[in-house]
Structure formats: structure tokens, C-alpha cells
């Protein structure tokens, strides 16, 4: 296909130092870690919170907290959320609020806005922001990902008097 671009080619163009683990804090600020860091390091600053991987968030499911000794992975987006959210299912309004908070944090974290004239090549700042949503393998026990196939089947009706 003529206009398709490879994600792998984009990933190779990003210098290793540019990829960071990003944590969206409760106040909407963004913390970036260029070196490996454990969730306990982030939790040290906010003991009444938990760290949640954005890839593990599913609408209608309970949020899952990272263990204190889990490492934050470069190129991944995490949220620092209050502990009471662990006991609630993720509702559409919660998901929307988190998406707005993440988007705002990513935009505000850039040192300067990037304007690209038509036909120009993206700069490293643009590439870094574009790299954030890159998916990684899910860590849920044995799950292969969400299946969008219907989980319901039809039940044929039985008519005892076929007349």
C-alpha cells in the first residue's frame, strides 16, 4: 500500500534516550523517567495512591495496581491514581477524564509547540509524543487480549406442537 508507514521504522528512528516511562500524576503533571524505576519510587511521593498501567485499563473492569517492585517500562504511560479507585469499576466518565488528563499532561510536557509545514519531516519532539501510545504485550495472567467476537449465542426455540 503506497501510503502505509511502518511502526518499526519509526521506533528505530527514535534515539534510545528519548523514550521514557511517563507517569501522569493526580494533579495532571507528567513525570518522565529515562532510566529504569520501580513503582515504589513513584509511590514514595504519594502513599495514598497506586500506579496503574494505561494498557491494563478496560472500561467496566476494576483497575489493577502495579506491585511496588514492578519496573516502569520506557515508552509506556502510567497513571498515579487515588486508592479508592481500586474498589470501583472504570466508568466511561472516568476513562474520559483520564484520557483528557493524559492528553493535557503530554501536551504541556513539551518544551515548545511543534508546528510542521506540509511535507516536512517530524522533529524528535514530535516523534517522542507520537511514540507514547505504542502498545506492549499485556501482563494479565494467560489473557491473550480482548476478543471482540460475540460471547453470546442464540438459543433455538423448541415447539412441542409443530402444527
CATH code for the domain in which residue 58 is found = 3.10.20.30
pLDDT, residue 34, reads: 87
Domain of 52 in residue numbering reads as 7-112+119-131
Query: Which pLDDT value is given to residue 3?
Result: 57
Residue 153 forms part of a structural domain: no
Asked if residue 138 is part of any domain, the answer here is no
Into how many domains does the chain fold? 1
Q: Say if CB 89 and CB 114 are below 8 A apart.
A: no
pLDDT value of residue 24: 92
The strand order across the sheet containing 21-24 reads 30-33, 21-24, 77-82, 49-53
77 pLDDT more than 70: yes
The answer to the question of residue 2 being in a domain is no
d(CA 54, CA 78): 5
How far apart CA 138 and CA 103 sit, in angstroms, is: 22
Predicted TM-score of the model (pTM):
0.57
Give kind and range of the element (H or E) at residue 30: strand 30-33
Query: pLDDT digit string (tens) for 107-144?
Result: 887 644 334 345 444 443 433 444 444 444 545 554 44
Residue 98 lies in a domain: yes
Amino acid at each position: 500500500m503506497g501510503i502505509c508507514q511502518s511502526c518499526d521504522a519509526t521506533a528505530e528512528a527514535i534515539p534510545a534516550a528519548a523514550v521514557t516511562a511517563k507517569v501522569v500524576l493526580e494533579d495532571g503533571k507528567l513525570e518522565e523517567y529515562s532510566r529504569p524505576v520501580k513503582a515504589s519510587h513513584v509511590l514514595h511521593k504519594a502513599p495514598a495512591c497506586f500506579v496503574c498501567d494505561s494498557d491494563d485499563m478496560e472500561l467496566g473492569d476494576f483497575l489493577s495496581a502495579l506491585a511496588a517492585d514492578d519496573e516502569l517500562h520506557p515508552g509506556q504511560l502510567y497513571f498515579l491514581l487515588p486508592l479508592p479507585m481500586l474498589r470501583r469499576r472504570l466508568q466511561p466518565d472516568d476513562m474520559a477524564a483520564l484520557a483528557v488528563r493524559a492528553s493535557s499532561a503530554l501536551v504541556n510536557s513539551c518544551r515548545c509547540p511543534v508546528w510542521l509545514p506540509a511535507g516536512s519531516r517530524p522533529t524528535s519532539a514530535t516523534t517522542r509524543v507520537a511514540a507514547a501510545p505504542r502498545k506492549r504485550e499485556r501482563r494479565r495472567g494467560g489473557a491473550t487480549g480482548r476478543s471482540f467476537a460475540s460471547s453470546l449465542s442464540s438459543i433455538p426455540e423448541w415447539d412441542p406442537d409443530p402444527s
